[in-house]
Chain A
Amino acid sequence: MPTDLSVSRCALAAESAAMAALDGWFTSFATQNALPDEPAGELRVCLHELFGNVIMHGQPKERRHAVWLTAARRGGAVILTVEDDCLPFNPLVQPSKPPATSLEDAEIGGLGLVLVRRFSTSLRYEFSDAKNRLVLTRLLDETGMTA
């Protein structure tokens, strides 16, 4: 089992006001690990989508939710883990819709998962210890990933 070279953790309330803290935390991780701009920017997009999903859709709505984030650099890969205390929900079983080809056909929502799938190498979901857990892996030098 490879050893993590660098691990950073962060806990945030699931609210839009925490986006700045999310950015600050991940920017610090990216800088410390000298991540190239392009994958770092795309991973930031993924974090915004996954964190935003909890804010927008986390159930039950009656109480505030928490999100626990872990970023790890392991060799040539970055592994992001996003955990929340919402009711079980697996975003990966949602159908992947093709991009709209015209404004008339365009749907307003559902594009976050399109970006997460495009900008990640692999995605895994599990529910355990009363938490949703989504693990995103991004190989930094994957051919074609940044084309």
Chain B
Amino acid sequence: MELQSEELANDITQVALIGALDLAGTEEIGLKLNVLAGSRKRLLMDMTGLTFLSSMGIRSLITVAKTVTRRGGKVVLLKPIAAVEKVLVTTGCDSMMPIHHDQGAALAEFAV
């Protein structure tokens, strides 16, 4: 599991999740995710390269979103593949974090 972050305009940090966000994957990137959640207010989670998501990954995403939101920020999910999106929807994550398949629409979420 890899995590790559990139600073965009308007204080938005794009975080690319690459690989499988399962129990092992969360152990690999958990610390980096927590650091980002504690230091950034606008996180765009690019899920294009996320091939698998389990409840342990969901747990990490919710933890990040709670941390960022408590600090007045926002987390937006971008372009999950169908299998990953089904896990997100089944666990209600789509009601906690906006999901977009268009980057422009995703970025516009931060202006709301």
Contact = CB atoms under 8 A, between A and B. Distances in A.
Interface in A12-51: 16-17, 19-20, 23, 37-38, 41-42, 44-45, 48-49
Contact of A99 (B53, B86, B95): B95
The CB with the most chain B CB atoms within 10 A, among A17, A44, A98, A99, is that of A99
A103 interface: yes
Nearest to B25: A19
B59 A111 contact: yes
A109 B106 CA distance: 27
Nearest to B54: A48
A123 interface: no
The CB with the most chain A CB atoms within 10 A, among B59, B66, B92, is that of B92
* Chain A contact residues, majority secondary structure: helix
A119 to B, nearest CB: 8
A103 B55 contact: no
Which range holds the interface residue count of chain A?
Answer: 20 to 34
Contact of B55 (A41, A42, A52, A100): A52
Contact of B23 (A37, A42, A48, A100): A48
A10 interface: no
A121 B53 CA distance: 21
Interface in A98-125: 98-103, 106, 108-109, 111-112, 114-115, 118-119
Contacts of B96: 100, 102-103, 106
A118 B58 CA distance: 16
A36 to B, nearest CB: 12
A55 interface: yes
Given A103-B97, A115-B55, A108 B23 contact: no
Contacts of B62: 103, 106, 108
Interface of A: 16-17, 19-20, 23, 37-38, 41-42, 44-45, 48-49, 52, 55-56, 98-103, 106, 108-109, 111-112, 114-115, 118-119
Interface of B: 20, 22-24, 27, 52-56, 58-59, 62-63, 65-66, 69, 82-83, 86-87, 90-92, 95-97
20 contacts: A16-B24, A19-B22, A20-B24, A41-B83, A42-B83, A45-B87, A48-B22, A48-B54, A52-B22, A52-B54, A98-B92, A99-B90, A100-B92, A102-B96, A103-B69, A108-B62, A109-B59, A111-B59, A112-B55, A114-B90
